[in-house]
Amino acid sequence: MTATLKSLILRARAEHDCSPGASPDEIASAESRLGHHFPEELRELLSECNGIRFWTTGNFPCRLLPVGEIRPVHLLLETEEGPPGTVALVESQGDFVAMGLDREGPGYAQLIDCSHETFPHELLRVCGSIPDFLALVLDSQDDEWIWPAARVSGVDFAE
């Protein structure tokens, strides 16, 4: 685990509600259910925190989903459209930040804004790594972080 990821996880634990880590079997079961392997940074985060509730009493609450709740975004948004390898990792007020798990897809290992208003026609990159995601949430100080980050990146993975 990189020093940056480790320090961000320690910060998340100190400032927010982190569940105990998932076991290797729980992570493997989720990967099998989804038909994709998680990138190493995601495995490391989930093995340390199997779900995190951020800003629970704030204006922009969100949560890292535990492995048992990670699903393709199109299923959570109840649509048949959308890339099946794009799985929800973060829930925020009925919208999701997902990660592309299809190694052949353009959004592999990227965190992607999946709004119920625009999915799957607009899939904007929020950030490119788990440490970047944690830093965005933790540094947001309960301000909106998903849409501003997606607007700055300007990268759209919609097909």
CA distance 128 to 77: 23
Structural domain contains residue 114: yes
Structural domain contains residue 159: no
pLDDT tens string 78-105 = 998 888 899 999 999 999 999 999 999 8
Structural domain contains residue 22: yes
Structural domain contains residue 122: yes
Domain range enclosing 76: 3-153
- Res 154: pLDDT: 87
Among the listed residues 34, 67, 72, the one whose alpha carbon sits nearest the alpha carbon of residue 52:
67
Structural domain contains residue 32: yes
Crossing angle (nearest 10°) for helices 40-48 and 3-15? 30
Structural domain contains residue 158: no
Number of domains in the chain: 1
CA distance 150 to 86: 16
Residues 123/114, Cβ–Cβ less than 8 Å: yes
Structural domain contains residue 84: yes
Any idea what the CATH number is for the domain that residue 121 is in? 3.40.1580.10
pLDDT tens string 43-63 = 999 999 999 999 999 999 999
The alpha carbon of residue 35 and the mean position of all alpha carbons in its chain are separated, in whole angstroms, by: 17
The yes-or-no verdict on residue 159 having pLDDT over 70 is: no
Structural domain contains residue 109: yes
